[in-house]
């Protein structure tokens, strides 16, 4: 059938409107694509959040009022994921105070270091009370020396399952610093998230871990994204981690200027450039090898050495220059290294298999030379 010519003619204003709508739709699609680039979904949990998340360990070092101010400022800027732990002294209490009455607007991940089922329930109830909530989004075993499983004799995983069935927790996670435990957790199929140190100083084995999590449908939460303060270029740190669509970095924040720095990336995320690659290459050349990450799992020391700071003093002085490293108080702490018993307890506890006593001696020697006038 032949269509009349009049019906084949499209009004000019219709064409204009069509292209305007099409252009708008394209812009809208591009906008949502860009937004999606800045989001990450934690595996099978379905939790989807902005790639800026808040690590609440450092807020235990500041006042409650200051902590609440930081947490609420982060939320106002679009940060909705907050990671804390029962062992972070009053961190949970501060998070609870900041978000009381707005529980459905945020995700909370916390951790238990319990080694028995009885201890598990005690810590869970305490966390719920401190956080002022009746459920936790992700409840994580905090750096256990083994991978808790059903039937292992501890009752820990059974308690975790029961807590989930009761609605007290929504997802089961594990944090660790040991590659063997992390791989076992992935292979077990028992965990929905893994929290592990990950930054641009990552080794091939660390990268393999990230990919294995993705294949297993597990969320990967990156702790120590600034390597405990040794990485001093947050743009480079952010751009590197942004390359991994299954990785959620948690940035430990203690000061407002630190928070402002990361919040500035929410609408304008740094991308990998030749300049940033050069920064990363230089840092990898300088830092890869045997260095202390400051995790503190070697503590406490029998003679009171502040191992997690003293064993990396040489790097901190050079990478985060501050007069505080050379004060009489700091000097006294470094001098304590001379009292080392060489009991090797710290060496045995180190998840990175460092020769900690030797590292302490090396840092003390360098520190004394700096005090004597050596340039750094």
266 and 204 belong to one structural domain: yes
Euclidean distance between CA atoms 324 and 43, whole angstroms? 42
The Cβ of residue 140 has, within 10 Å, a number of other Cβ atoms equal to 28
Q: Which of 35-49, 98-112, 204-218, 268-282 has the lowest mean pLDDT?
A: 35-49
Euclidean distance between CA atoms 64 and 111, whole angstroms? 20
* Pick from 251, 241, 254, 364: nearest CA to 306: 364
Q: In the structure encoding, which two tokens stand for residue 109, read together? A: 């991940």
* pLDDT value, residue 238: 95
In a domain? residue 10:
yes
* Pick from 180, 170, 7, 27: nearest CA to 103: 170
272 and 123 belong to one structural domain: yes
DSSP H helical ranges for the chain: 5-8, 12-37, 64-76, 91-98, 117-131, 156-165, 179-188, 204-216, 234-241, 256-263, 274-287, 307-310, 313-319, 328-335, 345-349, 356-371
140 and 16 belong to one structural domain: no
* pLDDT value, residue 189: 97
In a domain? residue 166:
yes
Asked whether the beta carbons of 144 and 181 are under 8 A apart, the reply is yes
Last residue in a domain, options 233, 253, 284: 284
Q: What is the dihedral of CA 128, 263, 234, 192, to 10 degrees?
A: 40
Euclidean distance between CA atoms 307 and 352, whole angstroms? 14
67 and 202 belong to one structural domain: yes
The answer to whether residue 293 scores a pLDDT higher than 60 is: yes
What is the tens place of the pLDDT at every residue in 228-248?
888 989 999 999 999 999 999
**Average pLDDT of the residues in 245-254:** 94
In a domain? residue 301:
no
143 and 106 belong to one structural domain: yes
176 and 280 belong to one structural domain: yes
The answer to whether residue 227 scores a pLDDT higher than 80 is: yes
336 and 366 belong to one structural domain: yes
**Average pLDDT of the residues in 60-66:** 96
pTM of the full structure:
0.82
**3-class secondary structure, 247:** strand
* pLDDT value, residue 137: 98
Q: Which of 1-5, 41-45, 126-130, 155-159 has the lowest mean pLDDT?
A: 1-5
In a domain? residue 348:
yes
Domain extent at residue 315: 307-371
Q: In the structure encoding, which two tokens stand for residue 208, read together? A: 């393999």
199 and 85 belong to one structural domain: yes
The answer to whether residue 258 scores a pLDDT higher than 70 is: yes
How many domains, the chain? 3
163 and 57 belong to one structural domain: yes
258 compared with 16, residue with greater pLDDT: 258
**Annotated catalytic residue, options 88, 157, 191, 240:** 88
Mean pLDDT for the chain overall:
90
Euclidean distance between CA atoms 166 and 162, whole angstroms? 6
Euclidean distance between CA atoms 279 and 349, whole angstroms? 32
174 and 142 belong to one structural domain: yes
Asked whether the beta carbons of 157 and 149 are under 8 A apart, the reply is yes
Q: Quick check: is 32 catalytic?
A: no
In a domain? residue 297:
no
In a domain? residue 139:
yes
In a domain? residue 136:
yes
Backbone angles phi, psi at 248, to 5 degrees: -110, 110
Euclidean distance between CA atoms 105 and 98, whole angstroms? 12
Work out the pLDDT band at 36, boundaries 50, 70, 90.
low
Euclidean distance between CA atoms 173 and 220, whole angstroms? 10
* Pick from 250, 193, 258: nearest CA to 225: 250
Work out the pLDDT band at 353, boundaries 50, 70, 90.
confident
Strand partners for 219: 193
Tell me how far CA of residue 248 lies from CA of 67, 81, 139, 210, in angstroms.
22, 10, 16, 11
| CATH number, position 275 | 3.20.20.100
In a domain? residue 342:
yes
29 and 155 belong to one structural domain: no
Q: What is the CA radius of gyration of the chain?
A: 25
149 and 272 belong to one structural domain: yes
């Amino acid at each position: 059938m032949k269509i009349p010519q009049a019906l084949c003619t499209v009004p000019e204003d219709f064409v204009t409107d069509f292209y305007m709508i099409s252009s708008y739709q394209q812009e809208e699609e591009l906008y949502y694509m860009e937004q999606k680039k800045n989001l990450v979904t934690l595996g099978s949990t379905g939790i989807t959040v902005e790639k800026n998340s808040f690590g609440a360990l450092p807020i235990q070092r500041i006042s409650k009022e200051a902590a609440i101010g930081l947490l609420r400022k982060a939320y106002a800027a679009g940060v909705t994921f907050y990671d804390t732990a029962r062992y972070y002294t009053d961190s949970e209490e501060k998070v609870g105070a900041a978000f009381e009455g707005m529980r459905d607007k945020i995700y909370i991940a916390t951790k238990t270091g319990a080694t028995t089922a009885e201890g598990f329930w005690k810590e869970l109830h305490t966390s719920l009370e401190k956080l002022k909530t009746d459920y936790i989004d992700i409840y994580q075993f905090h750096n256990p020396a083994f991978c808790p499983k059903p039937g292992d004799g501890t009752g820990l995983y059974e308690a975790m399952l029961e807590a989930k069935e009761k609605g007290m927790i929504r997802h089961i996670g594990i944090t660790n610093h040991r590659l063997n435990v992390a791989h076992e957790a992935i292979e077990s199929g028992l965990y929905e998230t893994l929290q592990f140190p990950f930054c641009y100083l990552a080794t091939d084995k660390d990268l393999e871990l990230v990919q294995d999590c993705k294949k297993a449908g597990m969320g990967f939460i990156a702790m120590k994204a600034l390597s405990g303060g040794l990485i001093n270029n947050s743009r480079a740190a952010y751009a590197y981690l942004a390359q991994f669509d299954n990785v959620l970095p948690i940035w430990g924040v203690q000061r407002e200027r630190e928070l402002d720095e990361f919040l500035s990336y929410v609408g304008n995320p740094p991308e990998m450039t030749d300049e940033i690659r050069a920064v990363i290459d230089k840092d990898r050349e300088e830092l890869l090898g045997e260095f202390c990450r400051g995790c503190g799992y070697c503590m406490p020391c029998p003679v009171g050495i502040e191992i997690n700071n003293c064993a990396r003093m040489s790097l901190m002085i050079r990478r985060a220059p501050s007069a505080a490293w050379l004060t009489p108080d700091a000097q006294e702490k470094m001098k304590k290294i001379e009292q080392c018993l060489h009991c090797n307890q710290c060496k045995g506890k180190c998840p990175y298999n460092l020769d900690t006593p030797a590292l302490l001696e090396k840092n003390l020697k360098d520190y004394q030379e700096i005090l004597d006038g050596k340039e750094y």
